[in-house]
A and B are shown apart, each in its own frame.
Chain A
Amino acid sequence: MPDVVIRDLTIEYSSGGYAVRPFDHFNLELQSGQLVLLLGASGCGKTTLLSVLSSLLTPTSGTVHVGETEVTALKGAALTEYRQRGVGVIFQGFNLIPSLTARENVEVPMRSAGRSRKEARARADELLEMVGLQDRIGHRPGAMSGGQQQRVSIARALALDPPLVVADEPTASLDYIQVDGVIRHLRDLAAPGRIVVISTHDERLLPLADRVVELTPRAILDQRPPERTELAPGSTLFRQGDQGTLVYEVDEGTIEVVRELADGAGEEILAIIEPGGYFGELAPMFGLRRAASARAGATPAIVTGYNLRDFRGRRGSDVTDLTLDEDA
């Protein structure tokens, strides 16, 4: 039975010259028959993870197994074979070939995989009937609604009966009437012997899920009392990519706010915070990861971490007049 096992997955790419790691030693196991929702805000890495599962993106490090297949090690013909038979993809923008009819769009993966025209046609008709489009078989995408196109996309993903189906924001381009039809078909996809992974920020899909993986932890209102931390010279308070619930004020020494550059090219100091200054307020405010690291300067430093309520109480309206809000 095909299970999905993700081990120590790290994906790093460059954004404006800075290193971004949506996944840093990420681990996940999914069981056969599950419908899994990847929930998270835009930019959290949902589509990136689907790209890795679909073998369209090679991670920086780590492994992904789908059943016995190590997806991250595939090359050449084995890679093509996996994309044909190992995974079916449902794209956010449907991505049907506009010059082909619904039936021909579903036939394409089968013809590419060497199935005869007759066999491919019969299977395409069967799948289009399954998604309720038996009367739209000869229509081109331009003559179909968004919901109908997405159902054709579902049929195409199932053409070669893959053990893994991934869907990227399948309801993003649909109105509420069209969503209804698509949701029912997505639920039916998760059957024994198949895993369905759906990336979405559409919480209407939550009741469908056997499992929800939240890639953006929800903002937690930290109630802790102020927390004083002593730092040796050069020691790190928090790292870029960490979750954060506290805003810090510098009591003694200095704090360097640094951001890692892409491709191992070192780091850039964004700011040096003097005593009386503060940093790290955006992550707790908006539930984001830390966009930079913070560490003590050349001398020992003492900082105090405040939860948002206490910090606002200390600073009042001054909080909106931040100097480091874009970086920390």
Chain B
Amino acid sequence: MWLISLRDLQYRYRRFLIAIAVTALVFGIAVAIDGIKQTLQAEPADLVASFHADSWVVRRGSSGLFTTNAVLPDSVVGALRDTPGVRSAEPVVTGRSTVTTGKRENVNLLGYDLRRGGPEIVDGRAPRSDHEVVVGDGIDVAVGDRLTTTSGTFRVVGRADGSRYNGGAPTLFLTVKGAQRISIDGLPLVMGVAVQGHPKTLPDGTSFATNDVAVADLRLTIKSAMATIDFVALLTWIIAAGVIGAIVYLTAIERTRDFAVLRATGSPSRVVVGGLMIQSLIVALVAAVLAVPLAFVLRIGMPLPVTLSGASVIRIVIVGVVVGALASVAAVRRALTTDPALAFGGA
């Protein structure tokens, strides 16, 4: 019966407000964590898509080009350009470095000729020399600044949109030769070739990797991080269920006499069960709704970009319903086992 549940919520509103506030915070953290997961999941696909390649050519047996040490001679680039069906073939050289000015952090190095495509430059121009870089999101520098890394000092000539990968690490775009100098001692090698078109044949010792394979390869590096995020999200849901469950259970203990009276006066079990479940669900759903704006606030303090989507909101509401239902189980059990004869106890 709605009436008894709602009146009880009003009667004990302080404790339910506390439960809602704590649960909303926990749900908000869950939404923010989910947003980070969405970001990490989207990064590889966004990066691969930004090259507008139809496919990638890598050394045969390699799983992909962004995470591999397997290299190809850069002569394959010319061979591919001469292959019928190929509109363009651009070499890619990858590596890692650490920014040492300001906040120290790991960065990805990508040697690629941005004048011929790739991620969009939103400010400035593409690098023309080995000591020029374009920086992606996540590094707080402006065009014209100098950037010191463990691989040398560069002049920032442009900024590119997005381009994070390897768990949110920002990216420095260099010329191919610049990247070769840093990553492989200037050897004329490449990690792969971004190909537009459909080559009829492949140079010896190479194989195709589709965009999907390239994305899967990038995601492999964050597999453990994603599993950890899932586990932490599960923990937050359990904590939320615990908070709601504890409050509703305490209320059920206080209402033992009420339940005895309800049963003694012929109220069916569904009235008692439904009443407690409704209370749990109301707390969980209100908390879930409040969690969404709270997540927007929380993401300000998050070190990684947080992607909040409609799917996240729907997911947290569904989780709220499930958490609310589970949280009421202990209280429902207690209420159903209340002896109606207890109603005859003294005042």
Contact = CB atoms under 8 A, between A and B. Distances in A.
Interface string B235-279: 000000000000000000000011011111111100100000000
B7 A80 contact: no
A112 B3 contact: no
Interface in A82-120: 82-85, 89, 91-95, 97-100, 104, 107-109, 111-113
B347 interface: yes
A56 interface: yes
A166 B347 CA distance: 17
Interface of A: 47, 50-51, 54, 56-57, 80-85, 89, 91-95, 97-100, 104, 107-109, 111-113, 140, 156, 168-169, 172-173
Given A56-B341, A91-B344, A104 B264 contact: no
Given A95-B257, A100-B7, A83 B1 contact: no
Given A94-B347, A100-B3, A173-B347, A56 B264 contact: yes
| Secondary structure of the B contact surface, majority rule | helix
Interface in B1-33: 1, 3-4, 7-8, 10-12
A112 B345 contact: no
Contacts of A172: 346-347
Interface residues of B, number: 28
Contacts of A83: 263-266, 340
Contacts of A50: 344
Contact of A100 (B4, B268, B339, B345): B4
B329 interface: no
B142 interface: no
Interface string B102-133: 00000000000000000000000000000000
Contacts of B264: 54, 56, 83, 89
Contacts of B345: 92-93
Contacts of B1: 108, 111-112
Contacts of A97: 4, 7, 258, 261-262
B265 A156 contact: yes
Contact of A112 (B11, B258, B268, B344): B268
Q: Which of A57, A82, A93 has the most CB of B within 10 A?
A: A93
Contact of A92 (B263, B271, B339, B347): B347
B232 interface: no
Given A51-B341, A100-B4, A112-B267, 4 more contacts: A56-B339, A83-B263, A84-B265, A112-B262
A109 B8 contact: no
Contacts, number: 87
Nearest to B271: A112
B347 A104 contact: no
A91 B343 contact: yes
B257 A112 contact: no
A209 B221 CA distance: 87
19 contacts: A51-B341, A56-B264, A80-B266, A83-B266, A83-B340, A84-B266, A92-B345, A94-B347, A95-B257, A95-B261, A97-B7, A97-B262, A98-B258, A99-B4, A99-B11, A108-B267, A109-B265, A111-B1, A112-B271
User: Most chain-A CB neighbours within 10 Å: which of B8, B266, B340?
Assistant: B266
B261 A85 contact: no
Nearest to B341: A56
Contact of B265 (A94, A112, A140): A112
Given A97-B4, A99-B8, A99-B10, A92 B346 contact: yes
Contacts of B346: 92-93, 169, 172
A182 to B, nearest CB: 14
A93 B262 CA distance: 15
Given A111-B3, A112-B1, A172-B346, A85 B266 contact: yes
Given A83-B264, A98-B11, A56 B343 contact: yes
A57 B341 contact: yes
Contacts of A51: 341, 344
Nearest to B260: A95
A107 B4 CA distance: 11
A104 B7 contact: yes
B347 to A, nearest CB: 3
A163 to B, nearest CB: 14
Pairs A-B, 5 closest by C-beta atoms = A84-B266, A93-B347, A99-B11, A83-B266, A112-B267
Contacts of B341: 51, 56-57
Contacts of B268: 80, 112
B275 to A, nearest CB: 11
